[in-house]
Amino acid sequence: MPKIITELKEKGVLRSQAIVRALEDVDRADFLPEDLHDVAYEDTALPIDGGQTISQPYTVVFMLEQLHVRPGDIVLDIGYGSGWQTALLAHLVGPSGKVYAFEVVPMLCEQGKEHLEKYPSLAPRIQFLCMSAQNGYAKAAPFDRIVSAAAVREAPKPWHEQLLPGGRMVYPKGNSLILEVKKPDGHFDIKEFPGFVFVPFVEA
């Protein structure tokens, strides 16, 4: 998707070459209904099933730039929806990493999996879970990175507990994106970036 990549670079949000490569290899159109393919490369959120949306490319890239995902990372991905951001995460973690992707809308649970079948090199790096991530995923914890695509009132305590020291967590709260970095003593450095809109997190 060279057009959107160029636009995101010009807007100053896209800086990481690893994310550029992921955007080049993972086609956003593959995660949208056919009738939206002609607008797949527009920098806007688009509707998908279940009353949800596929996030604006600017927003997805902003979150990924804040996450600093590295090869080999173990990532908790909350609200995978169409699966586009999940595929980008799988690209970034590489063959030695793993993405645990959660979705509570049954229709989207299946669609996200189906979309990833188009990417047989990425799909094995992902474990899809059709359930709430409110309690995190202790079975696979601790995580290097945690990202949520749904707005929370407060980040659940298990997310904080299951993040490794030095780990990074990005999630929407209100009309802001929040970045939390876990320090060695268990406390968190927190940054807020206003001006974002997300669908609400569905609690269990």
CB 4 within 8 A of CB 20: no
Taking phi over 0 as left and psi of -120 to 50 as alpha, with beta for the rest, 50 belongs to left
171 found inside a domain: yes
- Which residues are known to be catalytic? 55
Q: Is residue 100 part of a domain?
A: yes
What's the CA gap between 28 and 148, in Å, rounded? Answer: 19
In a domain, 204, yes or no: no
Q: Could you tell me if residue 202 is inside a domain?
A: no
pLDDT band at 69 (very low <50, low <70, confident <90, very high): very high
Q: Has residue 44 been placed in a domain?
A: yes
Kindly provide the b/e burial profile for residues 72-109, where b requires at least 16 CB atoms within 10 angstroms of the residue's own CB. Answer: ebbbbbbbbbbbbbbbbbbbbbeeebbbbbbbbbeebb
**Does 201 map to a domain?**
no
Predicted confidence band of residue 46 (pLDDT cuts 50, 70, 90): confident
- Using pLDDT thresholds of 50, 70 and 90, give the confidence band for residue 12: very high
pLDDT tens for residues 128-153? 999 999 999 999 999 999 999 888 88
In this structure, is residue 200 part of a structural domain? Answer: no
CATH code for the domain in which residue 24 is found: 3.40.50.150
- Pairing relationship of beta strands 98-102 and 188-194 according to DSSP bridges: unpaired
Is residue 197 predicted with pLDDT exceeding 70?
A: no
Q: How confident is the model at residue 1 (pLDDT cuts 50, 70, 90)?
A: low
Helix (H) or strand (E) holding 177: strand 176-182
- Answer yes or no: pTM beyond 0.95: no
pLDDT of 200 reads 58
- Residue 63: the pLDDT is 96
Range of the domain at 157: 2-194
Domain annotation covers residue 187: yes
Q: What are phi and psi of 48, to 5 degrees?
A: -125, -175
What's the number of domains the chain is made of? Answer: 1
